[in-house]
Amino acid sequence: MPFVVTEPCIGVKDHACVDVCPVDCIYEGGELLLIHPEECIDCGACVPECPVDAIFEVSTVPAQWKGYIAANADPFRASADRPRAILRERWEVLRGQEGSPAHRYYQRHGKA
């Protein structure tokens, strides 16, 4: 069963999970990152890296966040060209660059 990114990622999205994923199955999803449900090998390596406990194995997603199971999977059915998430170090560099998507993301969340 794949792992799923849920609500606590929103506004944080620090890309720490990306650094440890052995199969690069974490993708950009706008407000949060997304795990590809078919590429994920269920290793669980990303779970302890998340500072806000946003990642769950699909059968253990808390009731209030069950909608994120579909939210992780549906974008991959809709389009095959979603960009893979970049490594944390690169994300942090972009965060400091005014006008970049990363900088705008934290501006939206009052953290720029």
Task: Print burial letters for 35-48: b (CB count within 10 Å at least 16), e (below 16).
Answer: bbbeebeeeebbee
d(CA 87, CA 82): 16
One residue of 16, 58, 71, 102 binding ligand SF4 per CB under 6 A: 16
Please say whether the beta carbons of 42 and 36 come within 8 A.
Answer: no
> Quick check: 40 binds ligand SF4 (CB under 6 A)?
yes
Tell the residue number behind the tokens 């705008």, with chain if given: 104
C-alpha of 23 from chain center? 14
**By C-beta, is 25 or 102 nearer to ligand SF4?**
25
One residue of 15, 56, 102, 105 binding ligand SF4 per CB under 6 A: 15
> Quick check: 71 binds ligand SF4 (CB under 6 A)?
no
**By C-beta, is 17 or 61 nearer to ligand SF4?**
17
> Quick check: 93 binds ligand SF4 (CB under 6 A)?
no
One residue of 7, 49, 82, 86 binding ligand SF4 per CB under 6 A: 49
Phi, psi for 4 (deg, rounded to 5): -135, 140
One residue of 4, 26, 71, 73 binding ligand SF4 per CB under 6 A: 26
User: Count residues contacting ligand SF4 (CB under 6 A)?
Assistant: 29
